[in-house]
Structure 1
Amino acid sequence: MKSVLIIDDEINICTLLSKFLGKHGFKTDSTMTGAQALKMLKEHPYDLVLCDYRLKDTDGARLMSDIRQMSPQTVVIIITGYSDVRIAVEMVKNGAYDYISKPLYPDEILSLVNKALAQQPATPVESTHNVVAPHAHEEPATPAARMQKNGRSYVFGESEVSRELYRELTLVAPTDFSVIVFGETGTGKESVAHLIHEHSSRKGQPFVAMDCGSLSKELAASELFGHEKGSFTGAIGTKIGAFEQAHGGTLFLDEIGNLSYDIQVAMLRVIQEKQIRRVGSMKEIGVDVRLIVASNENLFESVQKGKFREDLFHRFNEFTIHIPPLRDRTEDLPLFVESFTEQVSKELNKPAAPISEEVWECFRNYDWPGNIRELKNVIRRASLLTPAGKEITMAALPLEMKAGSSTPRYTAASAENPGDDMPEGMMLDSNDLKSVALKAEYNKIINVLKAVKYNKTKAAQLLNIDRKTLYNKLRLLNINY
């Protein structure tokens, strides 16, 4: 039985880690001080030490040095808060096996501990923050290419569009190019950004993600560049902005198109000068970050409409990755479903439920407007509702999916049929105003789709709505193609 010593000045963390690792077959001891830890190591050698960087009587760097002198074969993993990540990285370079950031996630801890104990202490190993994946010039080891991240896998799939996504990602990741990740909501833009970072030379440095869609004009400058104490009402202390937090690493900005014009101007200056100025300060602070930005709208179209600065767009657009929607890679569905059922099986601690043929047929015909995120949620819900030993049936699916599978749909195959009337299953009272409006909307959408040869992007433009709204209407009206 492997032995683990837990050193943390928070009794709750010591207790939780001891119980969790104990349940998984480890012999655990814990202490809240460095002095007591060294005394315990003298009396009994441990296979692995989980050590908080900040302790009341010492720090992780000094304690790790003492541990390595006293017990060179003991593997050391550092537990750190976000503000100490850079120090933790230096400790990894100086002999720690790896570091893990708070908040702590049990599965991540278990995976890291198992991996650390499986390695010889003297053998150089890569951090679990690296991507376990082929180099850019190699083909995937198997058709179902996966990249690992903190014990969880990103499934690329076997379809042509999935292979192209994998090829582009592995080509650009080792470079320092700025990247635009374009894809609909739920396609996994942040996951792809993580993989780019973790397969780059910055993999041991911070990865900072920020959702620009939730930032007001006033809040954006503070969140991105930081502020000084007293710089505005409510600024009760100095704040470190996202650019400073990501120094040396990668900054991922989601929904970049939502930034106000003023912030876009400030952003352009930061990228050009590689310096930021906190709100309320005149001091310039140098920053070195790789930028990955994401949008579910075409940024070039936003430039043409005057909503996004062209010069900033070209600063970002050193490389663009398009993540295909799930409906364009349905041949990858079995791989995604297998991966998600495995994950949920572990979460629920019960065998993965097989999927009935009726549900598979529904999956293949469904539009998946929420993409991979929606599929994962559907699998989680269905697995929870399905008793152990039973297969997932239509009864476990959300109402919108069951309704769509039971109602006649307009399909591409029926496009050649004369007439544009709604299928009978969708007809309502002809005297009802809502029914008349729905029928008119249905016919208009069908006619536009025919005119653009079923190109949904062009159809949305002609209808003067965004793609997400169009997909919602297609689902509501049961139009599938």
Structure 2
Amino acid sequence: MAETVLIVDDERGIRESLRGVLEDEGFVVEKAESGDAALRRLATTPVNCILLDIYMPNSQLDGMATLEHIRRQYPHIPVVMISGHGTIDTAVRAIRLGASDFIEKPLNIERTLQAVRHAIQMHRPAPAPDGSDLVVGQSVPMRALRQQIALTGPTDGRVLIYGESGTGKELVALALHAASKRADQPFVAVNCAAVPEDLIESELFGHVKGAFTGATESRRGKFEQADGGTLFLDEVGDMSLRMQAKLLRALESGLIEPVGSQSARRVDVRVIAATNKRLDEAIEQGQFRPDLFYRLNVIPFQLPPLREHLEDIPALVEHFVRQFSQHYQRPPITLTEDAYEKLRRHDWPGNVRELRNLIERLVITETTSPVTAEQIPLDPAPNSVWASFQFGSLREGSEAFERELVRRKLAECDGNVTQAAEALGIDRSYLYRRIKALGISLRG
């Protein structure tokens, strides 16, 4: 698909000259004669790059003011500034405001094309990863999760992902998107708990200019940004009842109405939601609409906390070490066995996110490898699995105790199930069934 460049210049001759050059190179070209016109165009037209003149005396907004508006409202779009009155100070100010590049008039054709191509390349989203790169681990819960993603991803069925904070709900949503027919379309995420109540409607559905105090320009909402792709609503359980009603109408009709608008717009969006709350309890307490719950909960996913699949820690560590070593250009580190043992004995209240942050810290700060237990900034907690006592039921607590006991006996017997069964005083076949039911991996 051809990429679109928006030319913003108050001189018609320059707009037409640039249009001809860019179209000859295969670009789609949009034009605007002022900063105000550019912002109106951006509200309705997807753009890959903007060529923006600084000096526009006939525009209410000059180039710098327009740049500031664009960086606030459309931070994903690169802007190349052009000027016939360029100085070093002007160029520095433009770059500080977020411009990708700065070129002077009279424009050199090759320099201009190079600036546009480079800006687009630097802001091009990374290819969508496939699901196998996002769900790491060979424990029973992780293998089951990958199977569920492979089965559900290619459909347009709505998914509601349950899990504690830090278990990787957004990664699962990304994996579902990557496995879908929408993989080459946008994936847009919004954390419903992080957006103030008075702004969430505008965040989701957009608004028109003048809709409320501060709405100086029209803005597309997340539903429109995700049109054709996937919209991930994280922490949907924190949404107010008023917004739940508006979301329900959008899901039922496929129509969204920007704040302040008198007309609705149709969107084609697959919605994936996530929560760390018990929505059944929220429904009983009148805090969540049952009709919205049934709309979202077509296919439920349950993500286990890290303390329930500790056997995946080595795979997760290797994954994060590889990721952060490449990102920070640092040599990869390894961990000693006592370091892994310390990780396994931690309760991980922050789940996989906590482990990820720890490995990032080690990659940055540790200059020697392998890393030992003493170098890992965690407090040992040998009984942490049940000492925190954060279980919702007697069954959950009993299973946590049984899981830890079986793991320890298997470790003592070097993974020999027959010996572990004898030590526990149970039948070998029964122990195999419990190992599978508790999600314990027999791999090293």
TM bucket, shorter chain: 0.5 to 0.7
1:217 is matched with which residue? 197
2:169 is matched with which residue? 189
1:430-453, CA deviations, whole angstroms, 9 ceiling, x for partnerless residues?
xxxxxxxxxxxx8xx76x979825
Q: Which amino acid aligns with 2:127?
A: H
Equivalent in 218, 238, 246 of residue 258 of structure 1: 238
TM-score (norm. length: structure 1) = 0.57
2:375 is matched with which residue? 396
Distance 2:265 2:392 in 1: 55
1:38 is matched with which residue? none
Number of equivalenced pairs: 306
Change (3 A) 1:65 1:213: closer
Q: For the Cα contact (< 8 Å) 1:385–1:396, is it kept in 2?
A: no
Q: Secondary structure at the match of 1:366?
A: coil
Cα deviation for residue 386 of structure 1 reads 1.8
Cα deviation for residue 309 of structure 1 reads 0.3
Between 1 and 2, higher relative CO (CA 8 Å, sep ≥ 6) is seen in 2
Distance 1:236 1:450 in 2: 48
Change (3 A) 1:337 1:103: farther
1:385-411, CA deviations, whole angstroms, 9 ceiling, x for partnerless residues?
2214x321234322xx1x335xx6477
Equivalent in 335, 345, 353 of residue 315 of structure 2: 335
Q: For the Cα contact (< 8 Å) 1:155–1:336, is it kept in 2?
A: no
1:63 is matched with which residue? 25
Cα deviation for residue 63 of structure 1 reads 1.9
Distance 2:366 2:43 in 1: 39
The question of 1:370 aligning with 2:350 is answered yes
Cα deviation for residue 62 of structure 1 reads 5.2
1:234-291, CA deviations, whole angstroms, 9 ceiling, x for partnerless residues?
1111111111111111111111011111111111111111111111111111111100
Distance 1:450 1:261 in 2: 26
Q: For the Cα contact (< 8 Å) 2:347–2:385, is it kept in 1?
A: no
Q: For the Cα contact (< 8 Å) 1:130–1:199, is it kept in 2?
A: no
Alignment of structure 1 residues 345-424 onto 2, 5 Å:
345-388=325-368, 390-398=369-377, 401=378, 403-405=379-381, 409=383
Q: Which amino acid aligns with 1:350?
A: R
Distance 1:249 1:347 in 2: 28
Distance 2:188 2:269 in 1: 10
Equivalent in 307, 325, 341 of residue 287 of structure 2: 307
Alignment of structure 1 residues 56-455 onto 2, 5 Å:
56-57=18-19, 63-64=25-26, 129-132=127-130, 147=132, 153-388=133-368, 390-398=369-377, 401=378, 403-405=379-381, 409=383, 452-455=394-397
Q: For the Cα contact (< 8 Å) 1:155–1:339, is it kept in 2?
A: no
Change (3 A) 1:356 1:156: closer
Q: For the Cα contact (< 8 Å) 1:131–1:199, is it kept in 2?
A: no
Q: Secondary structure at the match of 2:202?
A: helix
Q: For the Cα contact (< 8 Å) 2:130–2:175, is it kept in 1?
A: no
Distance 1:337 1:286 in 2: 44
Same amino acid, percent of matched pairs: 37
Distance 1:224 1:319 in 2: 23
Distance 1:243 1:285 in 2: 10
Distance 1:227 1:221 in 2: 9
Change (3 A) 1:397 1:280: same
Q: For the Cα contact (< 8 Å) 1:208–1:242, is it kept in 2?
A: yes
Q: Which amino acid aligns with 1:396?
A: Q
TM-score (norm. length: structure 2) = 0.61
Change (3 A) 1:84 1:62: farther
Change (3 A) 1:284 1:449: closer
Structure 2: gaps of 5 or more residues: 8-16, 29-41, 50-75, 80-117, 119-124, 401-444
Cα deviation for residue 351 of structure 1 reads 2.5
Structure 1: gaps of 5 or more residues: 1-7, 11-54, 67-80, 89-100, 105-112, 114-126, 134-146, 148-152, 413-441, 459-481
Distance 1:168 1:450 in 2: 25
* Two-structure CA RMSD over aligned residues (Å): 3.6
